[in-house]
Chains A and B, each alone.
Chain A
């Protein structure tokens, strides 16, 4: 078991999430645990290639392996994913609140074109 502080994990988590195949693997695991063989099927990738992606996800704490079961199924570790999503959510929420107000303002400005004459670019 790796011992790591939360922000160290966060870096690994974001690096792991930066790859579309790994995000697709997580999406698959969100529907239930799966073996390496089951995971490699939809991706037209060799099992070693998938295993590499799984190792990255595992290091980031995003998935875990049940080593006792014969097929060694991988499962999603929600907590780590939530941590990563939460970090980005903080930014998103503040910006989204502002931008929804901006949407309304832009609509208002376009409804009153006389007040804000536009020149052709």
Chain B
């Protein structure tokens, strides 16, 4: 089930992905810190030493990643503003650049995650609303590996979608 990335507006990025699992399980994997820290790790070589989450409206969270090889850390923190169990979660997210470079976001991004189950498949739609277009572009450019090569396969894939 391929991931789908679009930008509904110049301040948003939307990521849609389906999972072969019931909605409650997909929800748990996002809402229970002991499960989140098992998969939300980013590129190879990064670990998630800090994963604290108080999942309820007004509850705070703190995520921090570390690369021992590079001796670098960065993180996100913020609070949950809306929690509808197994269905919808809205959280505010502030980027803490740690020592990977980039600047602390001045206004938090607002992330809305919605979980819909059909025929045993759960589709997660995550919409990230940034405070400005610049913030969005900056978020995309941050923490990414250099020299990523664009393969023709991807281009093929894009054309297949278009056709």
Q: Point out residues on A near B: beta carbons under 8 Å.
A: 7, 11, 14, 20, 23-24, 26-27, 30, 78, 81-82, 85-99, 101-107, 109-110, 116, 118-119, 121
Contacts and interface: CB of A to CB of B under 8 A. Distances in A.
Given A92-B5, A106-B29, A116-B28, 20 more contacts: A14-B7, A23-B162, A27-B159, A82-B155, A85-B155, A89-B148, A89-B154, A90-B144, A94-B144, A95-B3, A95-B5, A97-B43, A98-B39, A99-B17, A99-B19, A99-B39, A102-B29, A105-B38, A118-B22, A118-B25
Contacts of A81: 155, 158
Pairs A-B, 4 closest by C-beta atoms? A23-B162, A101-B39, A106-B21, A102-B39
Interface residues of B, number: 40
B15 interface: yes
A102 B19 contact: yes
Contacts of A78: 155
Interface in B118-163: 137, 140-141, 143-144, 148, 150, 154-155, 158-159, 161-163
B150 A86 contact: yes
Majority SS at the chain B contact face: mixed
B41 interface: yes
Interface of B: 3, 5, 7, 10, 13, 15, 17, 19-26, 28-29, 35, 38-44, 86, 137, 140-141, 143-144, 148, 150, 154-155, 158-159, 161-163
A106 B25 contact: yes
A101 B41 contact: yes
A14 B133 CA distance: 13
Contacts of A23: 161-162
